[in-house]
């Protein structure tokens, strides 16, 4: 019996290949259960992947998420919030009657796997794609224009893509890393008592050594030239569980402030290291990816005083949208994740990301026909002409959570509002007013970088006429 | 019955020395090539091209390169990811800095950069061998990671360190659609595979194999270890570098150093071990196993679950995918330690004697 099985196994693979290649049906007469099973599995797979997806009356939203791998603790609440919001839209009857269909694809924060997911879900006529990793954003940015799928990067992605005249298909709506970096520096300046007080000070940037972590550098360098503070760059190799050397440098050079540009396990490690080296947490400012519950929960009291920037929202457990989510989705047993995370920072980021995408579809429907399924091209127009007034946001349940966003052909970002929140040992609480990134700094930098990209790709800037289409 | 070389007599040295001395093999190869070039573009969807076939073809080329070094010359290398990275960034720098440089010379130049890098990091192989060499080549990996992260010149000072290419064309034909990308990679793969097959059949290949089997004995019979080892490093890293350039240019389009991390080196080494060391066929089978199987599992498991009336979350699927994939690797290595290529050879032997096995 053992021998017979081994024989089967030895034959299955080459014979299967042979059969598939030559379509020689004679071989299949051999009674080889393994072979038949493999052939069956393969055919099922082929039919599952290659069949043309029928154009249904549903608007398809792909969900690229990472619930596994080193970044899973942060990726999971985001995905839960995103999916919960899509469910909420469906329980309310969809977008003017058009229901949302969605499918999740696990990327593990891996660029190649994200591209595979993108290609897999592309055939289902996605309304938009949210890449959820800077590496994937770069790869998909090159593919999306050809496929006519808008790329939504809510609060992340490549900062220069807010220039809609060059990046026709990219939408970093609500803010970019440059917005985050600029407002962090504003908060520091305010704490010091004005920009002029920053002269001669030293600010260290502890960053995730990846495109994500390097994004803010040009902006901070620009500010450092203008205001005369010294910038110290301290890269941390991903995933960032080993930071002893970095914090030794911090201890030696004693920077006045540390800006933490981390993600996942890197954040809690950094805060623990800061605690161990005795660096004051009050002088640490994180980007919004470093300002959520999983980053500080393990350190709890040790992280007290640690600040992080938020793009639009922070943790909002008392907001209307959270209450709706708890009653309409979790109350009916439809919740995707645990109930406790509803209202936390990353969960809400997922909710907000989904909401902006859905509102883009809604605004497209207003032009191209209500109650119709929108194509990627139509959604692109919708996202470009998005006008989320405060009244609309309040009606959606985002009162006090978000400020108005209005995009245009030239400005794909729509708003640059941020706040600082501080960890009090148990919860995040806001410690600043609404701030806005400085246009004077941002605009020339965006334009210069976008122009460089356009020159590299031999693109011409979109004209007013193209904006109408 | 069908696969038997009875009655096929060779009357010239030329006939005796051809790559496929058996008529059936030649036909099989012809059919395979026809399928690959004409059949596949006929029925494959965009998804199959961009997510399965293109990565498979490129990885098969890389595995071929690793196989020359590891399988034929016996030099265990964990620097394959670095050679890919050097190929990719080398090609990128030529492409971006030399205006109007056509794509194929760009890829070849990328491959040559990897050759230089490979020979440089192959030098320790003259002194250390086996696992120690694996560790020494790991240095290449870390060096490449550091180089492309820190030296901004290589990435043309882009703020995020991520680079991208577009508007690729060959002889005026744009390489934009998935079919054209696939065919372009496939043509290069065929050329490289033919080249590699002939190299390993020739004098230099025999030198490599002699070094692999026993380097002292090889040196005694007059094979220069330095020349043999470094030429294996050179050829292998050229092929891996070209594959790296293709991976970056054709498959990813925009990339950062983490696309060629140490994981990639391990994957390539596994491809060679699972596919079969010292076999050109092994590179293809190993690449198919490592590239296609995880994606297959990832998509098939939810379907299987739905047949059984269950729904699987993406988390469960990706965990199950890893477990089954790992179990399959162990199972294959127990059933056939010499790799899938050995299974292939056994299959052929069975066909020869079928239907009278004894």
Rounded to whole angstroms, what are the CA distances from A241 to A213, A268, A291? 15, 9, 17
Chain A contact present for B161, CB below 8 A: yes
Residue A300: closest CA among A268, A274, A276: A268
Contact predicate B82/B143, CB 8 Å: yes
- Which ipTM was obtained for this model? 0.82
Q: How far apart are CA A13 and CA A72, in angstroms?
A: 35
Give the residue numbers spanning the domain of B64: 47-353
Chain A contact present for B259, CB below 8 A: yes
Q: A8 falls in which pLDDT band (50, 70, 90)?
A: very low
Q: What is the mean pLDDT of chain A?
A: 85
The three-class DSSP label of residue A469 is: coil
Domain membership of residue B207 (yes or no) is yes
Rounded to whole angstroms, what are the CA distances from A148 to A122, A380, B11, B183, B341? 10, 8, 60, 24, 42
Q: What is the mean pLDDT of chain B?
A: 90
Domain membership of residue A352 (yes or no) is yes
Q: Residue A13: which of B149, B176, B340 has the nearest Cβ?
A: B340
Contact A211 B256 (CB under 8 A): yes
Provide the shortest C-alpha distance from residue A104 to chain B (in Å): 7
A395-431 per-position pLDDT tens digit: 999 988 899 999 998 899 998 999 999 999 888 999 9
Q: Are residues A232 and A197 in the same domain?
A: yes
Q: Which of A43, A116, A237, A454 to probe the B interface (max B CBs under 10 A)?
A: A116
Residue B87: closest CA among B358, B268, B275, B308: B268
A129-159 per-position pLDDT tens digit: 999 888 889 889 988 888 899 999 998 888 8
The three-class DSSP label of residue A202 is: strand
Residue B39's Cβ-count burial label (10 Å; 0-12, 13-18, 19+) is middle
B295-340 per-position pLDDT tens digit: 888 888 888 888 888 877 888 888 888 898 889 888 888 888 888 8
Q: Residue A14: which of B295, B313, B343 has the nearest Cβ?
A: B343
Contact predicate B185/B54, CB 8 Å: yes
Q: How far apart are CA A68 and CA B137, in angstroms?
A: 30
Contact A143 B347 (CB under 8 A): no
Q: Which of A311, A334, A351 lies at the terminal end of a domain, its last residue?
A: A311
Q: How far apart are CA B268 and CA B140, in angstroms?
A: 15
A250: CATH: 3.40.50.2300
Give the residue numbers spanning the domain of A7: 2-50
Q: Quote the pLDDT of residue A1.
A: 34
Q: B47 falls in which pLDDT band (50, 70, 90)?
A: confident
Mean pLDDT, rounded, for A47-72: 73
Q: Quote the pLDDT of residue B356.
A: 76
B176: CATH: 1.10.3470
> What residue has token string 């890829």?
B107
Mean pLDDT, rounded, for A327-352: 90
Q: If you ran DSSP here, which 8-state letter would residue B130 be given?
A: T
Contacts of A210 (CB under 8 A, 6+ apart): A134, A135, A238, B161, B256, B258
Q: How far apart are CA A138 and CA B248, in angstroms?
A: 12
Chain A contact present for B202, CB below 8 A: no
Rounded to whole angstroms, what are the CA distances from A104 to A44, A110, A111, B317? 20, 15, 16, 11
Domain membership of residue A81 (yes or no) is yes
CB atoms within 10 A of CB B129: 17
Give, for B163, the enclosing helix (H) or strand (E): strand B163-164
Q: How far apart are CA A129 and CA A321, in angstroms?
A: 23
Contact A457 B340 (CB under 8 A): no
Q: Which residues of B touch A122 (CB under 8 A)?
A: 46-47
Domain membership of residue A190 (yes or no) is yes
Domain membership of residue A423 (yes or no) is no
Q: Which of A83, A134, A135, A460 to probe the B interface (max B CBs under 10 A)?
A: A135
Question: Could you tell me the end-to-end alpha-carbon distance of chain B, in angstroms, rounded to an integer?
Answer: 14
Phi/psi for B166 (5° steps) reads -160, 180
Domain membership of residue B210 (yes or no) is yes
Q: Which of A50, A65, A122, A138 to probe the B interface (max B CBs under 10 A)?
A: A138
Return the top range by mean pLDDT from A123-132, B108-117, B312-321: B108-117
Judge whether residue B10 has pLDDT over 90. no
Q: Are residues A354 and A369 in the same domain?
A: yes
Q: Are residues A66 and A153 in the same domain?
A: yes
Contact A209 B149 (CB under 8 A): yes
**How many beta-carbon pairs under 8 angstroms link A with B?**
144
Domain membership of residue B29 (yes or no) is no
Q: Quote the pLDDT of residue A46.
A: 52
CA atoms lying within 13 Å on the CB side of residue A123: 19
Domain membership of residue A432 (yes or no) is no
Q: Are residues A325 and A452 in the same domain?
A: yes
CA atoms lying within 13 Å on the CB side of residue B335: 24
The residues facing A435 across adjacent strands are A418
Residue of B nearest to A67 (CA): B315
CA atoms lying within 13 Å on the CB side of residue B127: 6
The three-class DSSP label of residue A90 is: helix
Chain A contact present for B306, CB below 8 A: no
Q: Are residues A161 and A219 in the same domain?
A: no
Q: A41 falls in which pLDDT band (50, 70, 90)?
A: low
Q: Are residues A225 and A270 in the same domain?
A: yes
Give, for B195, the enclosing helix (H) or strand (E): helix B178-201
Q: Residue A68: which of B51, B303, B319 has the nearest Cβ?
A: B319
Q: Which residues of B touch A18 (CB under 8 A)?
A: 347
Domain membership of residue B13 (yes or no) is no
Domain membership of residue B329 (yes or no) is yes
Q: Give the pair of three-digit tokens for residue A163.
A: 């220039």
Q: Quote the pLDDT of residue A27.
A: 38
Q: Quote the pLDDT of residue A2.
A: 37
Q: What is the pTM of this model?
A: 0.84
Q: Which of A265, A283, A311 lies at the terminal end of a domain, its last residue?
A: A311
Contact predicate A71/A113, CB 8 Å: no
Phi/psi for A225 (5° steps) reads -65, -40
Q: Are residues A128 and A33 in the same domain?
A: no
The three-class DSSP label of residue B348 is: helix
Q: Are residues A168 and A82 in the same domain?
A: yes
Give, for B335, the enclosing helix (H) or strand (E): helix B314-335
Q: How far apart are CA A243 and CA B303, in angstroms?
A: 43
Q: Which residues of A touch B50 (CB under 8 A)?
A: 115, 119
Contacts of B154 (CB under 8 A, 6+ apart): B89, B93, B147, B148
Q: If you ran DSSP here, which 8-state letter would residue A131 be given?
A: -
The three-class DSSP label of residue B341 is: helix
Q: Higher confidence at residue A116 or residue A467?
A: A116
Chain A contact present for B253, CB below 8 A: yes
Mean pLDDT, rounded, for A230-255: 91
Q: Which of A259, A287, A311 lies at the terminal end of a domain, its last residue?
A: A311
Contact B343 A218 (CB under 8 A): no
A67-94 per-position pLDDT tens digit: 888 888 889 999 999 999 999 999 999 9
Angle at the Cα of A183 from the Cα atoms of A289 and A440, rounded to 5 degrees:
130
Domain membership of residue B23 (yes or no) is no
Q: Quote the pLDDT of residue B254.
A: 87
Q: Residue B48: which of A6, A13, A50 has the nearest Cβ?
A: A50
Domain membership of residue A113 (yes or no) is yes
Contact B347 A10 (CB under 8 A): yes
Q: A13 falls in which pLDDT band (50, 70, 90)?
A: very low
Residue of A nearest to B166 (CA): A457
Q: Quote the pLDDT of residue A465.
A: 77
Contact A49 B47 (CB under 8 A): yes
Q: Give the pair of three-digit tokens for residue B286.
A: 């190993």
Judge whether residue A23 has pLDDT over 80. no
Return the top range by mean pLDDT from A350-354, B22-26, B295-299, B330-334: A350-354
Contact predicate A151/A122, CB 8 Å: no
Residue of B nearest to A103 (CA): B314
Contact B51 A120 (CB under 8 A): yes
Q: How far apart are CA B337 and CA B340, in angstroms?
A: 9
Residue B143's Cβ-count burial label (10 Å; 0-12, 13-18, 19+) is middle
Q: Quote the pLDDT of residue B161.
A: 79
Chain A contact present for B249, CB below 8 A: no
Provide the shortest C-alpha distance from residue B217 to chain A (in Å): 35
Judge whether residue B352 has pLDDT over 50. yes
Domain membership of residue A417 (yes or no) is no
Q: Quote the pLDDT of residue B333.
A: 82
Q: Which residues of A touch B38 (CB under 8 A)?
A: none
Rg of chain A (C-alpha set): 25
Q: Which residues of B touch A44 (CB under 8 A)?
A: 300, 303
Contacts of A175 (CB under 8 A, 6+ apart): A155, A311, A312, A413, A415, A416, A417, A418, A437
Question: Structural domain tally of chain B?
Answer: 1
Give, for A419, the enclosing helix (H) or strand (E): strand A417-423
Chain A contact present for B311, CB below 8 A: no
Contact A44 B300 (CB under 8 A): yes
Contact A68 B315 (CB under 8 A): yes
Q: Which of B33, B93, B162 to probe the A interface (max A CBs under 10 A)?
A: B162
E-strand ranges in A154-256 read 170-171, 202-208, 230-236
Contact B51 A119 (CB under 8 A): yes
Domain membership of residue A430 (yes or no) is no
Chain B contact present for A34, CB below 8 A: no
Q: Are residues A212 and A118 in the same domain?
A: no
A357-396 per-position pLDDT tens digit: 999 999 999 999 898 999 999 999 999 999 999 999 999 9
| Least confidently predicted of A279-288, B157-166, B242-251 | B157-166
Q: Residue A116: which of B166, B295, B319 has the nearest Cβ?
A: B295
Mean pLDDT, rounded, for B96-106: 91
Q: B113 falls in which pLDDT band (50, 70, 90)?
A: very high
Contact B350 A11 (CB under 8 A): yes
Domain membership of residue B183 (yes or no) is yes
Q: Are residues A339 and A379 in the same domain?
A: yes
Chain B contact present for A120, CB below 8 A: yes
CB atoms within 10 A of CB A71: 24
B141-155 per-position pLDDT tens digit: 999 988 998 888 998
Give, for A63, the enclosing helix (H) or strand (E): strand A59-65
Contact B176 A218 (CB under 8 A): no
Q: Quote the pLDDT of residue A39.
A: 59
Q: Residue A119: which of B47, B255, B335 has the nearest Cβ?
A: B47
Contact A139 B252 (CB under 8 A): yes
Q: Are residues A38 and A67 in the same domain?
A: no
Question: Structural domain tally of chain A?
Answer: 3
Q: Are residues A252 and A345 in the same domain?
A: no
Q: Which residues of A touch B48 (CB under 8 A)?
A: 49-50
Q: A57 falls in which pLDDT band (50, 70, 90)?
A: confident
B253-265 per-position pLDDT tens digit: 888 888 898 989 9
């Amino acid at each position: 019996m053992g021998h017979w099985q081994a024989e089967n196994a030895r034959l299955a693979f080459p014979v299967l290949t042979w059969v598939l290649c030559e379509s020689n049906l004679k071989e299949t007469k051999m009674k080889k259960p393994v072979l038949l099973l493999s052939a069956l599995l393969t055919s099922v797979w082929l039919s599952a992947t290659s069949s043309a997806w029928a154009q249904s009356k549903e608007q398809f939203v792909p969900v690229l998420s990472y619930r596994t791998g080193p970044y899973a603790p942060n990726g999971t609440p985001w995905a839960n919030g995103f999916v919960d919001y899509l469910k909420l839209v469906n329980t309310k009857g969809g977008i003017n009657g058009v229901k949302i269909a969605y499918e999740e694809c696990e990327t593990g924060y891996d660029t190649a796997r994200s591209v595979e997911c993108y290609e897999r879900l592309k055939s289902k006529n996605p309304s938009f794609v949210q890449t959820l990793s800077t590496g994937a954003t770069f790869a998909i940015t090159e593919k999306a224009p050809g496929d006519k799928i808008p790329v939504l990067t809510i609060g992340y992605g490549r900062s220069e893509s807010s220039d809609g005249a060059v990046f026709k298909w990219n939408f970093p709506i609500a803010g970019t890393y440059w917005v985050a970096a600029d407002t962090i520096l504003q908060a520091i300046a305010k704490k010091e008592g004005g920009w002029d007080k920053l002269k001669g000070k030293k600010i260290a940037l502890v960053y995730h050594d990846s495109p994500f972590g390097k994004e803010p550098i040009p902006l901070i360098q620009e500010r450092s030239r203008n205001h005369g503070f010294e910038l110290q760059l301290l890269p941390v190799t991903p995933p960032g569980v080993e930071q002893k050397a970095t914090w030794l440098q911090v201890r030696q050079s004693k920077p006045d402030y540390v800006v933490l540009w981390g993600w996942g396990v890197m954040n809690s490690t950094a805060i623990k290291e800061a605690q161990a080296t005795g660096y004051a947490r009050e002088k640490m400012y994180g980007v919004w990816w470093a300002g959520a519950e999983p980053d500080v929960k393990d350190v709890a009291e040790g992280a007290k005083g640690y600040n992080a920037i938020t793009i639009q929202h922070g943790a909002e457990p008392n907001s209307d949208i959270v209450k709706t989510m708890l009653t309409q989705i979790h109350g009916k047993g439809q919740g995707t994740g645990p109930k406790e995370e509803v209202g936390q920072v990353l969960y809400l980021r997922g909710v907000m990301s989904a909401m902006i995408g859905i509102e883009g579809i809604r605004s497209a429907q207003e032009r191209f026909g209500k109650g119709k399924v929108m194509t990627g091209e139509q959604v692109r127009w919708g996202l470009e002409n998005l006008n989320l007034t405060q009244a609309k946001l309040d009606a959606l349940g985002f009162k006090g959570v978000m400020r108005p966003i209005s995009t245009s052909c030239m400005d794909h970002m729509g708003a640059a509002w941020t706040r600082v929140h501080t960890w009090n040992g148990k919860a995040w609480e806001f410690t600043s007013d609404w701030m806005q990134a400085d246009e004077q700094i941002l605009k020339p930098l965006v334009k210069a970088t976008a122009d460089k990209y356009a020159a590299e790709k031999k693109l011409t800037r979109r004209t007013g006429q193209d904006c109408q289409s | 019955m069908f696969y038997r070389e009875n009655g096929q007599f060779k009357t010239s040295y030329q006939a005796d020395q051809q790559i496929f001395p058996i008529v059936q093999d030649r036909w099989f190869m012809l059919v395979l090539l026809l399928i690959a070039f004409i059949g596949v573009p006929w029925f494959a969807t965009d998804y199959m091209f961009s997510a399965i076939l293109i990565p498979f073809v490129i990885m098969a080329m890389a595995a071929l390169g690793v196989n020359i070094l590891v399988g034929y010359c016996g030099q265990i290398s964990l620097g394959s990811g670095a050679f890919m990275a050097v190929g990719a960034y080398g090609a990128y720098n030529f492409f971006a800095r030399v205006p109007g440089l056509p794509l194929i010379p760009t890829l070849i130049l990328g491959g040559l950069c990897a050759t230089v890098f490979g020979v440089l990091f192959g030098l320790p192989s003259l002194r250390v061998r086996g696992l120690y060499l694996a560790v020494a080549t790991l240095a290449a990996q870390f060096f490449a990671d550091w180089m492309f992260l820190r030296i901004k010149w290589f990435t043309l000072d882009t703020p995020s360190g991520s680079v991208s290419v577009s508007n690729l064309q060959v002889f005026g034909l744009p390489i934009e659609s998935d079919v054209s990308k696939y065919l372009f990679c496939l043509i290069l793969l065929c050329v490289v595979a033919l080249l590699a097959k002939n190299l390993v059949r020739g004098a230099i290949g025999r030198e490599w194999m002699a070094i692999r089997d026993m380097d002292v004995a090889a040196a005694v019979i007059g094979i220069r270890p330095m020349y043999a080892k470094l030429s294996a490093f050179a050829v292998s890293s050229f092929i891996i570098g070209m594959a790296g350039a293709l991976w970056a240019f054709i498959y990813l389009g925009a990339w950062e150093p983490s696309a060629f991390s140490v994981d990639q080196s391990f994957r390539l080494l596994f491809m060679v071990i699972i596919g079969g060391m010292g076999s050109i066929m092994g590179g293809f089978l190993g690449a198919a196993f490592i590239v296609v199987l995880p994606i297959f599992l990832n998509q098939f498991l939810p379907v299987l679950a739905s047949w059984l009336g269950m729904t699987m979350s993406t988390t469960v699927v990706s965990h199950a995918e890893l477990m089954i994939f790992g179990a399959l690797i162990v199972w294959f290595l127990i059933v056939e330690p010499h790799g899938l290529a050995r299974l292939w050879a056994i299959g052929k032997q069975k066909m020869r004697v079928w239907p009278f096995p004894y």
